Structure 1
């Protein structure tokens, strides 16, 4: 059994106002919108900015503090917006800058903060910077990573064996420049050269532009890839070593990416981006602007993203411990260990964050079990710190199977019919399910860019609003709890009670304690909480229950004998 306590704040009541001044984001509810799939306002089957504006009141309904939008910038859409051609403009597919201004204005009315997806690693090959670089213009010739390659037996070859995340070589020959350019993702996504100070300054200016427009920060994409190892004195790079257990030489996992990810300079770049945030805070005033960084990296590296003794870093280095390592067979000990991995290693004074869904990962209900959706949302929303929800997880949306013929995700399309299901991200990007009307109320058109889930008549906002213990209404109850002092500022103790039951106690001096209990198993479990947590009252009240529960809200149970149905999750409070 694991039992450790993380002190998140001073228990003195006088300290609470000071804590609140440290930043709105410290106990915020972030919500990811994938714009193509949220709401279509013009009937073309693709979501847009006007559609988001129309539905911002829904975000207010479910208690969202801030929403980050996957890329909306001008793009040829080779990777659905993660290939940016113009970092300063909105892609016409999503609308106009005027539409964006209207979105910001409506969000401000509702006190919802807009966060943009910032893609620093690469641009599109249709970006003006790349076109000028390929042409050898002096100002831009070193904006990207170029190399003439090597000649072996009279044949020109790429300079290294490096493999793209999307399969195949990271190097593509450019006939005009007569050189290879580096791309850690698609060939249409050339990597910017961050060893050129002009590139760093250009990207900082992008941040300043959007902050002055009124956004409250950025989710920074693919941070570990931004730097590659520096070339040697002759301008050459080393090959990366093999992973012996992988046999497909085109697959990204065929190599150990020790020279193309998590280079030490990456951390300093995050610190520089944070300096821009602080500069803009001083210029613009008002609430804090924030950085959310996406990095699948070793835990000790991630903790450096927070900052050090001399530099502030990302306020929210995304915590992928749970999303990456939990599966449908994980037991309570594993859940507890993964939670503690973050809490016990986090630098003092920082805030934890919890990510259980996003546009790249299988949905909660498909990955961890549809019968655990409510329990997982209880975990997400009662752990200390910041919660991050991907659109539709509050409804219990699940992955949609899409055939090889209908697959459009480039990560999958560059593979084959036997491999694509392992790689495709299409199943989690399908249109949001608003109601039981045709195409789930997502569009007034006759088709959608990805198919709508077949269960949309049962899983949608309109229907779930009317069912007291729907996924949506349980989510809303949990969100309301998060405004209580105990959930906002209290300590957290996380225990695995045997292999089947996970328990979280939140406590704050002078306030009620709240205990989340999750039964992961198919068996009925009886739990003695007195043997697990100190300082509980003899009786506990049910605060949040699910449709699996035999008890109802406000029922009372005894702390030494709490009965849990299979896959049941509940939140209890001291009386």
Structure 2
């Protein structure tokens, strides 16, 4: 009896110790200060000479990313696709597109990345599939169980032509024209908020939820560390039963110059930001939490939505349920090449004010849908914007090439691949095209910029300036890349990871960012946005120690690394972005 008691006691202690140890070994914090590098696979590195970037090319360049200081890579879609929207039209969520490689190549990539302590994050596209997807083909045929996988609706009679059916509503696609396409085989319209080849899944069908969760499980089982979720705020549409049995028309915006075919012609009150979306995100977070426990690392989820900050903040959670990290696009939409220090400070402060207590911020300087940083802001602000993204609290996301200050390339109408541009015309396509920011990466000044050894053409033409603007030329000396690499190293210091944030606009042209942590040297970043040299006096910052040394300098700075200075006299040259570290501990 006594033996049984002690055996039971021993087993309970052993079990408790196992649970405690397992909980302690989970890396919950890797992502909260992660530097995430977005790779557009088609344009990063071509390993087989076909002019298209691929998985083996990414694997080949992982040591470069490790040397740079990257913590995780996020890859734009690599799944089987007819590539009408360059991978965002997915035929099979569980298959790799053959031009990118195969599952063996993917597993080698993940294994190599883990050996280098780099996490792999996948792009997840839940709003729509390709119209070549097996799910869609079955839904067209009304196969049992698949009838309602997509958003189907009958047309409505045209009052002027009784025998003609009009689309179910006036909804407009992001890529222009009606968001409804008629299927002769099914005899109904289907919704596509992007291209005709991207039918919207129906999230009011429970089977769709389970299918999507199985996709998440599949890739988590392959060892990925999380997902970036595409177009999350478009998952749900208004229910026809709430509007007399038909889909409601959306009201006009009244924006001058827009036509009924333009997306901005309408206010998208019935097709974006519906409240049901948040519960889906919270349910995915719960699924990822299961894998966090199994794999011993936090599984990250970041959501993409262009929406008001009040809507974005809800993705973090609702107080009772955790959610995702919503992408902060303020640097893309609210800061321009004419923004001054006051403007930038307000943009930073706005996100930090709205963000719920205890959550993690993030800063995005670019992506595959936006003109490159150097083109939007000018090359003289590349260092400033990179410094802000990497010095501010939370996650920093860098789009490939922005560590070099790569600019948009020129893509002719004949070479255009982006469906958003192809749906226009040879005169206006450049206003819509996203191809310029997707041109191949500049590794060196050799043929095809070291991106490919093809004897033919690369899938998109290279930017004309690749001979002078490339990684090889920036590996040493004062360059955008060496400054970026120094920033990535500074980012791992205690003050930058855990310290309090203070932003201060000294004037219209001088912005100061302080990261201060008691017991650690403080980190101070200063940006001079003007075209004249200035002297900055930080004596009013009483918690800041007196003596500092330069630890990183941008291309336009006259100061040298290691130079000691007083906080009362800091000479900052025109367009300079510079980082100091205090010579004594803060506070």
TM-score by length of 1: 0.94
What residue is the counterpart of 2:11 in the other structure? none
| Structure 1: distance between partners of 2:445 and 2:515 | 38
| Structure 1: distance between partners of 2:338 and 2:318 | 37
| Structure 2: distance between partners of 1:116 and 1:358 | 14
Where structure 1 has 5 or more consecutive residues not aligned to the other structure, the ranges are 1-17
What residue is the counterpart of 2:103 in the other structure? 97
Q: CA deviation at 1:416?
A: 2.3
Q: CA deviation at 1:76?
A: 0.3
Q: CA deviation at 1:61?
A: 0.9
| Structure 2: distance between partners of 1:331 and 1:203 | 44
| Structure 2: distance between partners of 1:324 and 1:421 | 19
1:251 and 2:259 are equivalent in the alignment: no
1:537 and 2:545 are equivalent in the alignment: yes
What does 1:342-357 correspond to in 2, within 5 Å?
A: 342-357=351-366
| Structure 2: distance between partners of 1:178 and 1:307 | 40
Q: CA deviation at 1:525?
A: 2.2
Residue in structure 2 matching 1:567, options 555, 575, 581 = 575
Residue in structure 1 matching 2:271, options 260, 282, 285 = 260
Is the contact between residue 74 and residue 122 of structure 2 (CA under 8 Å) also seen in structure 1? Answer: yes
What residue is the counterpart of 1:193 in the other structure? 202
For residues 439-458 of structure 1, give each alpha carbon's deviation from its aligned partner in whole angstroms, at most 9, with x where no partner exists. 00111102200011122122
TM-score by length of 2: 0.92
| Structure 1: distance between partners of 2:276 and 2:340 | 37
Is the contact between residue 26 and residue 297 of structure 2 (CA under 8 Å) also seen in structure 1? Answer: no
What residue is the counterpart of 2:479 in the other structure? 470
| Structure 2: distance between partners of 1:506 and 1:474 | 18
1:448 and 2:458 are equivalent in the alignment: yes
Q: CA deviation at 1:212?
A: 0.4
What residue is the counterpart of 2:536 in the other structure? 527
- Partner-residue secondary structure (3-state), 1:78: coil
Q: CA deviation at 1:53?
A: 0.9
- Partner-residue secondary structure (3-state), 2:202: coil
What residue is the counterpart of 1:290 in the other structure? 300
What residue is the counterpart of 1:159 in the other structure? 168
Q: CA deviation at 1:21?
A: 5.5
For residues 11-50 of structure 1, give each alpha carbon's deviation from its aligned partner in whole angstroms, at most 9, with x where no partner exists. xxxxxxx999642100011000000001101111000111
- Partner-residue secondary structure (3-state), 1:543: strand
| Structure 1: distance between partners of 2:379 and 2:156 | 52
1:75 and 2:85 are equivalent in the alignment: no
For residues 448-507 of structure 1, give each alpha carbon's deviation from its aligned partner in whole angstroms, at most 9, with x where no partner exists. 000111221222222211x22111111111111111110111110011122111110000
Tell me which moved more, 111-120 or 273-282. Answer: 273-282
Cα RMSD for the two superposed structures: 1.5
What residue is the counterpart of 1:57 in the other structure? 63
1:238 and 2:245 are equivalent in the alignment: no
1:211 and 2:213 are equivalent in the alignment: no
What residue is the counterpart of 1:271 in the other structure? 282
Q: Which has the larger radius of gyration?
A: 2
Q: CA deviation at 1:369?
A: 1.0
| Structure 2: distance between partners of 1:530 and 1:503 | 13
What residue is the counterpart of 2:41 in the other structure? 35
Q: CA deviation at 1:418?
A: 3.5
- Partner-residue secondary structure (3-state), 2:209: helix
Q: How many residues align?
A: 555
- Partner-residue secondary structure (3-state), 1:330: coil
For residues 292-324 of structure 1, give each alpha carbon's deviation from its aligned partner in whole angstroms, at most 9, with x where no partner exists. 11111111111111112210100x211111111
1:179 and 2:188 are equivalent in the alignment: yes
| Structure 2: distance between partners of 1:469 and 1:528 | 25
1:303 and 2:309 are equivalent in the alignment: no
Q: CA deviation at 1:127?
A: 0.1
What residue is the counterpart of 1:45 in the other structure? 51
- Partner-residue secondary structure (3-state), 2:267: coil
Taking a change above 3 Å as real, the CA distance of residues 194 and 91 of structure 1, as seen in their structure-2 partners, is: same
1:118 and 2:118 are equivalent in the alignment: no
| Structure 2: distance between partners of 1:228 and 1:20 | 38
For residues 129-174 of structure 1, give each alpha carbon's deviation from its aligned partner in whole angstroms, at most 9, with x where no partner exists. 0000001112101000001110023121001000000000000000
| Structure 2: distance between partners of 1:26 and 1:43 | 38
